[in-house]
Amino acid sequence: MAEAGWITGVARGAGGTRNFKLWMPRTLEKDKAWPLVLVLHGCTHDAADMAEISGMNEVAEANRFLVVYPEQSRLANLMKCWNWFHPKHQARDAGEPSILAAVVTQVCSAHNVDLDRVYVVGVSAGGAMASILAATYPDLFAAAAVFAGAEFKAATSVSEGLTAMEKGGPDPVQQGQLALEAMRNGLACKLRRRMPVIVFHGTADARVSLINAEQTITQWSKTNACLASEHSESEFALTEKIIDGEVPGGYRYKRHLYLEADARLLMEKWIVQGLGHAWSGSPKPSKYGDPKGPNASTEIWRFFCEAGTSVAPSLISPNLLQPGPSERSA
C-alpha cells in the first residue's frame, strides 16, 4: 500500500490531460477495497483549496476512503472553471468528462478501490460537471453530490450558462430524459437501477440561484423514473419528507428526503438558510467556506453510504409525507 498523504498524478483522456492529487488516509485497512470520492473544485481553485474548504480529507480519515481532486487548467478555462456549459464537455468519451473518467480509472488501476463504491462530488462549476459525469459515466459513479451546481446540460454556451446561474436552466423534466439518453452507453457496460443524488444549496447564494437546486432534484427524479421504466417498474414514485434543523450557533436548514415506495432513500436536498456561495460546514471561515452551516462533507458521505437502503419506519410518518417531484412532473 502507498504511504499515507498526498500523491500527485496526471491523467489523460480523449479530451486531453489534467493534474490531480489523491489523498491516502492513514486509517486505510490494507486487506479491504476502499471507496473512492472524486471531488471537483469550483472556479479559481485547485486541489489544496478544495480539500481545505471542504474538510473532505478529515471525513476520509474517519471513514477510510480515498479522495481524488482533479485540477482544471487555466489553458482550458482562464478562471479554472470546469466547462460544464460547453457541448463538447457534456458527452461520454469526449472533453473534460473523458479526462475526469480517466482520473478515476487511473486511481482504480493503481490502488485497491471498491469499484461499486466510487462517487462524484462537485461545487459550483464542479457541481454542474458532477451532474454531467453522473449521466455520462453511470458505470463509474454509484452516486453524486451537487453543491450549488446545476442540472444535466443546464446550458450549451457561455451566455446560457450565465442565464442558468441566475434563472435556472431548461425544463428539468426534459433534461431528465436527456440524461437517460446520455447514460445508455454507460448502462451497456454496467447495469444500474437508480442514480442517487444529494443536493446542497444556500438561500443567500448570490452567484448560483436557488432554483438550480430544485431543478437538479426534479431532473434526477425524472431520470430515475425513466430508469425505473426501463426496468419495467410501472409503480415508481417518490415521497418527500422535510426535516427542519439548526446548527447550534449557526444556520437553520431544511433537509428534504426523497423516498421510494419501499422506503429506500434515493435523493436528498439540503437548503441552508443564510448560506451564501460557500461550502457548508467548512472547517474554518473563508470566502468560499462557512462553518455555520451543517457539515456538507459528513452528510454527503453519510448519504453515499445510506442511499438505496430503507429508512426506518419511525422516520416516515404518513402525515409528514408530501408528493415528490416525480409525482408532480408525471
pLDDT, tens digit, 9 for 90 and up, residues 64-95? 999 999 999 999 999 999 999 999 999 999 99
**Size (the chain), residues:** 330
pLDDT at 265: 97
Nearest CA to 35 among 11, 8, 56, 52? 56
Rounded CA-CA distance 93/137 in Å is: 9
pLDDT at 315: 53
pLDDT, tens digit, 9 for 90 and up, residues 121-139? 999 999 999 999 999 999 9
154, with CB counted inside 10 A (0-12, 13-18, 19+), is buried
Determine the residue type at 13: G
* 116: containing domain: 5-329
Phi, psi for residue 127 in degrees, rounded to 5: -70, -40
What is the mean pLDDT of each successive set of 10 residues along the chain, which is 330 residues long?
A: 86 97 94 96 97 98 98 97 98 98 98 97 98 98 98 98 97 98 96 95 98 98 95 88 97 97 95 98 96 98 92 48 39
What does each C-alpha distance from 292 to 58, 75, 149, 202, 282 come to in angstroms? 18, 35, 20, 12, 8
Place of cell 473518467: 101
Helix H or strand E segment including 54: helix 47-54
CATH number reported for the structural domain that contains residue 252 in this entry: 3.40.50.1820
Three cell numbers, residue 55: 474538510
DSSP state of 14: T
What is the tally of structural domains in the chain? 1
pLDDT at 312: 57
Place of cell 423516498: 259
pLDDT at 310: 77
pLDDT at 147: 98
pLDDT at 1: 59
What does each C-alpha distance from 45 to 79, 168, 209, 288, 310 come to in angstroms? 9, 24, 21, 10, 37
Dihedral sign of CA atoms 80, 56, 325, 211 in order: negative
